[in-house]
A and B are shown apart, each in its own frame.
Chain A
Amino acid sequence: MIARAPERISNLALSAFGWLALVFLGLPLAIIVGVSFTATSYLRFPPVGLTLKWYGQFLKDPSYLSAIWTSASLALAAAALALVLGVPAALVLSRASFPGRKALGALFLSPLILPAIVIGATILQYASLLGFARTYTAILVGHVVIVIPYIVRTTFASLVGFDESLEEAARDLGASGPGAFFRVTLPVIKPGIIAGALFAVIISWINVELSMFNTTANLMTIPVKLFNYIQYSVDPSIAAVSAATIYVAVLVVAALDLMVGIDKIAVSNR
């Protein structure tokens, strides 16, 4: 079929818009990466000259390294705890039927839609009451609360598509209930769980709104440190730190794409 002229024009316009929107989404990140290599002492894009000194500067700064370490350990601990809590929850929610199951599912997902700043305030206030305000624990429990939904959702989604007769076959062949789960079910739903865990790690890694209520000069996550810095001054070393977090994001997205296909996970996860 030969497309009519108006359709050809509208096709062209749509393509142009699609690519422009893609540039819109990619440009700010590309610019930060570009700026991080500038040899000038102020932010400049396109960069003038090419230097790695801004990266060297932040890698030599112990306060940045300790913030990165705090954030990384928080992200891993929050994701690990959320896995231990979230996977069993998703398992029961997908297999058992009992009154209140829907409400319980909504409870596990609700931290997604509540304002992060309000959750942050509740944690600070609660921790002050119990005497653990402004500690690693206070930040960690808050992060676990906001990353659990990601684990529950992806695990639940992969369990719904799971063929349960496989598990029954394992039981018929003599496996125990938990044995059948670990030998048969877990390997099948593993990609979903890993995807959820990656989401969890990254959501914790980039969080500001929760962490900032409980951080101190000595207990600092990298996003909060960046945030505090950017409000007072900006220079290429900030661009280098920011660019480093972009590289982490790209690596995680690439890992997700290789494991499950980013187009599939992206639309099933929202």
Chain B
Amino acid sequence: MRIRRAWAVVLLGPPIAFLVAFFIVPFFVLTITSFQVKDGSWTLLNYAKAVTDIYYWDTLILTFKLSLWVTLASLAIGYPLAYYMTYRLRSRFLRRFFYVVVVTPLFTSNIVRSFGWMVMLGRRGMVNEALLALGLVERPIAILYSEASIVIGLSYIMTPFMVLSVASVLQNIDRSLEEAARDLGAGRLVTFLKVTLPLSLPGVIAGSLIVFTLSVSAYVTPSILSGGKMIVMSILIFQQYMSVFDFYFGATLAVALLMTTIVLVIGYLLVVERGPRVAGAST
């Protein structure tokens, strides 16, 4: 049923007004501030500082490097798990159990989840005890407060997003395509590589971009699991606001992070637009 124009205005007015007031205008304020200095005059100095100082490049590169590892790790864990849940779990009860375990971490704060890894990765933590028991190491190794512990913690946090992205595509794949491949003599591996995998690519791409963008802007996990020893972009931004009290440069760094994210999202949208053709070409 169509909604009359007057009703549409009444219903859409308040939500749009709210987002304009507390989402869009604040972004403009932030962007304007990034082109200003303390006395309010216009400048490009903030951006010049961000671009010319190697420290900010190093931070940006570390942020991207960690995010890339996290994306790969959550794909390596998430894809097979999503495949198993969608194709092999026949009982609805078991499938629901798996989904509950996948979703529950998403409903727990990043602090609690990172804290769990802090306990597990410590010198006397479970991971070290397991490595010692298996004889893989002779002494407890220092995993906590390293790049590795950030990657482990973030991968843990991101894996559910990957599982859900991939599973939502896998469950919509027409099973008769796979059956046809099998009937034509393809083995299970060939069927997977030639039919299932190409058809599931949109889920992989969507999941990877979600994980990558969320990792780039992650704050809590890098703070807790680096033990203050490593700085990523979001930590740098927060420091500018809360300890350096330089809103202007903080805004500049925030805009830089935002622009990077927007570029990634546009890339994502372009890929999604192409998605059906990719799938069509493989069938």
A-side residues, CB < 8 A to B, are 7, 10-11, 14-15, 17-18, 21-22, 24-29, 31-32, 35, 43, 45, 84-86, 88-89, 91-92, 95-96, 98, 104, 107-108, 111, 113-119, 121-126, 128-129, 141-142, 144-145, 148, 164, 167-168, 171, 177, 180, 202, 205-209, 212-213, 223, 226-227, 230-231, 234, 238-239, 242, 245-246, 248-250, 252-254, 256-257, 261-263, 266-270
Contact of A14 with B84 in the complex, beta carbons under 8 Å: yes
Does B80 touch A at the CB level, under 8 Å? yes
Chain B residues with CB under 8 Å of A263's CB are 92, 95-96, 99
A176 → chain B closest CB, angstroms = 11
Of chain A, the residue at the smallest CB distance from B29 is A126
Chain B residues with CB under 8 Å of A171's CB are 1
With A223-B109, A230-B111, A230-B224 known as contacts, the answer to whether A114 contacts B102 (CB < 8 A) is: no
B-side residues, CB < 8 A to A, are 1-4, 7-8, 11-12, 14-16, 18-19, 22-23, 25-27, 29-30, 33, 77-78, 80-81, 83-85, 88-89, 92, 95-96, 98-105, 107-113, 115-120, 126, 156, 159-161, 164-165, 167-168, 171, 187-189, 210, 213, 216-217, 219-220, 223-224, 228, 234, 237-238, 241-242, 247, 250-251, 254, 257-258, 261, 265
Q: How far is the CA of A240 from the CA of B44 in the complex (A)?
A: 49
Chain A residues with CB under 8 Å of B188's CB are 7, 10
12 extra A-B contacts, CB within 8 A, seeds A28-B105, A28-B113: A18-B81, A24-B159, A25-B105, A28-B117, A92-B8, A104-B16, A118-B257, A206-B107, A231-B223, A266-B167, A267-B168, A269-B164
Chain B residues with CB under 8 Å of A26's CB are 101, 104
A62 → chain B closest CB, angstroms = 21
Q: How far is the CA of A119 from the CA of B220 in the complex (A)?
A: 15
With A28-B117, A117-B217, A144-B18 known as contacts, the answer to whether A253 contacts B168 (CB < 8 A) is: no
Contact of A208 with B217 in the complex, beta carbons under 8 Å: no
Contact of A270 with B27 in the complex, beta carbons under 8 Å: no
Of chain A, the residue at the smallest CB distance from B160 is A25
Query: Given B7, B83, B101, B115, which contacts A230 in the complex, CB threshold below 8 Å?
Result: B115
Query: Given B1, B160, B216, B261, which contacts A95 in the complex, CB threshold below 8 Å?
Result: B1
Contact of B115 with A32 in the complex, beta carbons under 8 Å: yes
B117 → chain A closest CB, angstroms = 6
Chain A residues with CB under 8 Å of B219's CB are 116-117, 208-209
Contact of B113 with A29 in the complex, beta carbons under 8 Å: yes
Chain B residues with CB under 8 Å of A144's CB are 18, 22
A36 → chain B closest CB, angstroms = 11
Of chain A, the residue at the smallest CB distance from B169 is A267
Contact of B15 with A86 in the complex, beta carbons under 8 Å: yes
With A95-B2, A231-B228, A266-B103 known as contacts, the answer to whether A88 contacts B12 (CB < 8 A) is: yes
Contact of A115 with B234 in the complex, beta carbons under 8 Å: yes
Q: How far is the CA of A221 from the CA of B90 in the complex (A)?
A: 42
> Which of A10, A114, A115, A207 has its CB near the most chain B CB atoms (within 10 A)?
A115
B178 → chain A closest CB, angstroms = 14
Q: How far is the CA of A263 from the CA of B92 in the complex (A)?
A: 9
- Majority secondary structure of chain B interface residues (helix, strand, loop or mixed): helix
Contact of A164 with B224 in the complex, beta carbons under 8 Å: no
Of chain B, the residue at the smallest CB distance from A247 is B108
- Majority secondary structure of chain A interface residues (helix, strand, loop or mixed): helix
Of chain B, the residue at the smallest CB distance from A170 is B1
Chain A residues with CB under 8 Å of B1's CB are 95, 164, 167-168, 171, 180
Chain A residues with CB under 8 Å of B156's CB are 24-25, 28
With A29-B116, A117-B237, A121-B30 known as contacts, the answer to whether A17 contacts B81 (CB < 8 A) is: yes
With A89-B11, A125-B30 known as contacts, the answer to whether A209 contacts B119 (CB < 8 A) is: no
Contact of A115 with B261 in the complex, beta carbons under 8 Å: yes
Query: Given B19, B88, B101, which contacts A145 in the complex, CB threshold below 8 Å?
Result: B19
Chain B residues with CB under 8 Å of A95's CB are 1-3
> Which of B12, B89, B117, B210 has its CB near the most chain A CB atoms (within 10 A)?
B12
Q: How far is the CA of A82 from the CA of B190 in the complex (A)?
A: 48
With A29-B108, A92-B12, A242-B111 known as contacts, the answer to whether A15 contacts B237 (CB < 8 A) is: no
Query: Given A22, A31, A89, A261, which contacts B126 in the complex, CB threshold below 8 Å?
Result: A31
Closest 3 CB pairs of A and B: A28-B116, A115-B217, A18-B84
Contact of A117 with B261 in the complex, beta carbons under 8 Å: no
Chain A residues with CB under 8 Å of B11's CB are 88-89, 91-92
Q: How far is the CA of A208 from the CA of B220 in the complex (A)?
A: 8
Chain B residues with CB under 8 Å of A208's CB are 109-111, 219-220
Q: How far is the CA of A267 from the CA of B168 in the complex (A)?
A: 5
> Which of B102, B107, B167, B242 has its CB near the most chain A CB atoms (within 10 A)?
B107
Query: Given A7, A14, A246, A253, which contacts B100 in the complex, CB threshold below 8 Å?
Result: A253
